[in-house]
Amino acid sequence: MSDAQELGITESKEHSTGEWYAEVVRKAELASYGPEGMSGFIVTRPRAYALWESVQDYLDARFKATGARNAYFPLFIPESYLEREKHIVEGFDPEVAWVTHGGREELDERLAVRPTSESIVAPYMAQWVRSHRDLPLRLNQWNSVVRWEATETKPFFRTKEFLWQEGHTAHASREDAWDETMTRLDQYEDLYEEHLAIPVLRGQKPEHDKFPGADTTTTVEALMPDGKSVQGATSHYLGTSFGEAFGIEYTDREEVERVAHTTSWGLSWRALGALVMTHSDDQGLVLPHTVAPEQVVVVPIWQEETKDDVLAYAEGIAEALEGAGVRVELDDRDERNPGFKFNEWELKGVPLRIEVGPNEQAEGSVTLVHRPDGESVEADRDGLVETVEDAFETTYAKLYAAAEENLSENVRDAFDRAELLGTLGRHGGYVRAPWCGDEACEAEVKEQLAAEVVMVPFEDDAEKHLDLDGADCAVCGDSAVETAFYAKSY
């Protein structure tokens, strides 16, 4: 296969989204599949890990500014600790990886590779919390977790091991814990909207789809271009169930012993999947400047006789941008022609390309090309830093607007079963329908279309609600009590 073929994306985003996604992930050097015998695992290559670091930097600063501190709990959880969660959730049956041997010895008790850490964090919180002065206690950790689900691998969307952060907090009151739950949901929403250029819908999961043991599971949902919803992050108000099961108790100001209210909240590298899926196209990866490892690539275009001047001009531009804190790459490779370079950097998702040839050099200008839509703009060399910063804003706005348009055009209403199934089947996206709240009604939709209730709006989120006054559940016809957002989901 020639370099050019190897470089190009051959699948179509519109017609074969799954294959296209896999190809972009591979050719943009984001990830490789795990070793033989380890299906479901991926190797995260530097270009994807840099995106994860950008997500980490964004969230970590905000977590710390709002009182959370990082910690590290062991990778393994004794089986007996997980069993204690059974007291909270009947039928809890974790699909985890089990360590049974250490070296040559069989262990007395099996150890689970953490699927999430509530059951090991809570007992320590119980040790550390004594008085109301110890609250709130806010911990976070960046780590990986393993969930042994035997589904088809989709890098960043579905993998047996994934990177994430998990926050765990304890509070004196329901109100404090609920505020915490919302603070984290707000931060996740901001990450998507301000950093990843993806609008999200916020709401809560239906009763039957909550985190095991949670009072309320809140979520931000992002709509992919293929009409499926991605659960972008979840923030759980756990009530006092973990506090009771693990003995997280404190003495209040009146010396009364009380049970702490806890929360947990997590965002995984699925955010990277949503990022790649939302913005990229048939030329490859598309990234907003906020996360792009290289924000600008400068491509000098020379003939033998103009080479020295053009290169010097290009170098000056790259240095000026770098000096202003722009992440810039100068592609001065001799062995590649400009067309090859354009394709390669488009594939890799660099938001802005600056082309400079003898004309630009003579005129003191540059040609700026926006990755998202190929728009080409002439600009003066003078004031280039501001021009580039403006172009960042413009390209970000283009990406956000396209995703916003996809979202706003794909929320439809349905009031009976035929309309619900028909609309979901034809268009995908979200279908908003009155719902009686019964899992059985969702189960019927799931069976027919593999769609589910991904979200129910918050009570105070008026514009997301249907008028339920006298409305009936679109599926069973009983009295409706909630507005359900149905969608297929990743």
Q: What radius of gyration, in Å, describes the C-alpha atoms of the chain?
A: 26
The nearest distance, CB 275 to a copy of itself, in angstroms, is: 17
The nearest distance, CB 45 to a copy of itself, in angstroms, is: 6
The nearest distance, CB 5 to a copy of itself, in angstroms, is: 16
Annotate 233-260 with DSSP letters as a single string.
EEEEEEETHHHHHHT-EEE-TTS-EEEP
Q: Of 192, 393, 200, whose CA–CA distance to 275 is shortest?
A: 192
Interface with a copy of itself, residue 32, by CB under 8 A:
yes
Please work out the total of residues on this chain that contact a copy of itself, with binding judged by CB under 8 A.
54
Yes or no: say if 448 and 466 are a contact pair by the CB < 8 Å rule: no
Interface with a copy of itself, residue 42, by CB under 8 A:
yes
Cβ proximity to a copy of itself, 49 vs 342, nearer residue: 49
- Stretch of 63-71, 250-258, 305-313, 418-426 contacting a copy of itself, by CB under 8 A: 63-71
Cβ proximity to a copy of itself, 220 vs 326, nearer residue: 326
**Residue partners of 249: CB distance under 8 A and separation at least 6:** 126, 129, 243, 257, 258, 259, 260
Cβ proximity to a copy of itself, 52 vs 430, nearer residue: 52
Residue of 8, 78, 227, 316 interacting with a copy of itself (CB under 8 A): 78
Cβ proximity to a copy of itself, 141 vs 290, nearer residue: 141
Yes or no: say if 262 and 122 are a contact pair by the CB < 8 Å rule: yes
CA distance readout (Å), 111 to 82, 105, 262:
10, 13, 25
The nearest distance, CB 148 to a copy of itself, in angstroms, is: 4
- Stretch of 15-23, 64-72, 191-199, 403-411 contacting a copy of itself, by CB under 8 A: 64-72
- What distance in Å separates the CA atoms of residue 19 and residue 480, rounded to the nearest whole number? 40
Yes or no: say if 426 and 455 are a contact pair by the CB < 8 Å rule: no
Interface with a copy of itself, residue 61, by CB under 8 A:
no
- Stretch of 33-41, 191-199, 259-267, 301-309 contacting a copy of itself, by CB under 8 A: 33-41
Interface with a copy of itself, residue 53, by CB under 8 A:
yes
The nearest distance, CB 330 to a copy of itself, in angstroms, is: 16
Cβ proximity to a copy of itself, 81 vs 192, nearer residue: 81
- What distance in Å separates the CA atoms of residue 269 and residue 50, rounded to the nearest whole number? 12
Q: Is 55 helix (H, G, I), strand (E, B) or coil?
A: helix
The nearest distance, CB 97 to a copy of itself, in angstroms, is: 5
The nearest distance, CB 44 to a copy of itself, in angstroms, is: 4
Q: Of 259, 234, 242, 67, whose CA–CA distance to 173 is shortest?
A: 259
- Helical axes 384-408 vs 307-323, angle rounded to 10°: 70
Instruction: Please return the burial class of 3, using the count of CB atoms within 10 Å of its CB with bins 0-12, 13-18 and 19+.
Output: exposed
The nearest distance, CB 2 to a copy of itself, in angstroms, is: 14
Cβ proximity to a copy of itself, 115 vs 358, nearer residue: 115
Neighbours of 296 (CB within 10 A): 25
Interface with a copy of itself, residue 75, by CB under 8 A:
yes
Interface with a copy of itself, residue 337, by CB under 8 A:
no
Q: Which amino acid is at 57?
A: D
- What is the x/- site pattern for a copy of itself, positions 84-103, by CB under 8 A? -----------xxxxxxxxx
Print burial letters for 376-403: b (CB count within 10 Å at least 16), e (below 16): eeebebeebeebbbebbebbbebbbebb
Interface with a copy of itself, residue 109, by CB under 8 A:
yes
Cβ proximity to a copy of itself, 128 vs 362, nearer residue: 128
Residue of 1, 2, 72, 90 interacting with a copy of itself (CB under 8 A): 72
Question: Phi and psi of 235, rounded to 5°?
Answer: -130, 120
Residue of 38, 61, 312, 401 interacting with a copy of itself (CB under 8 A): 38
- What distance in Å separates the CA atoms of residue 195 and residue 211, rounded to the nearest whole number? 27
- What distance in Å separates the CA atoms of residue 298 and residue 361, rounded to the nearest whole number? 13
Q: Of 264, 11, 222, 19, whose CA–CA distance to 117 is shortest?
A: 264
- What distance in Å separates the CA atoms of residue 401 and residue 386, rounded to the nearest whole number? 22
The nearest distance, CB 263 to a copy of itself, in angstroms, is: 17
- What distance in Å separates the CA atoms of residue 435 and residue 476, rounded to the nearest whole number? 8
- Stretch of 75-83, 168-176, 203-211, 438-446 contacting a copy of itself, by CB under 8 A: 75-83
The nearest distance, CB 76 to a copy of itself, in angstroms, is: 6
- What is the x/- site pattern for a copy of itself, positions 138-167, by CB under 8 A? -x---xx-x-x-x---------xx-x----
DSSP state of 227: S
Cβ proximity to a copy of itself, 34 vs 338, nearer residue: 34
The nearest distance, CB 401 to a copy of itself, in angstroms, is: 32
- What distance in Å separates the CA atoms of residue 207 and residue 393, rounded to the nearest whole number? 40
Q: List residues binding a copy of itself (CB under 8 A).
A: 32, 34-38, 41-46, 49-50, 52-53, 69-78, 80-81, 95-103, 108-109, 111, 113, 120, 123-124, 127, 139, 143-144, 146, 148, 150, 160-161, 163
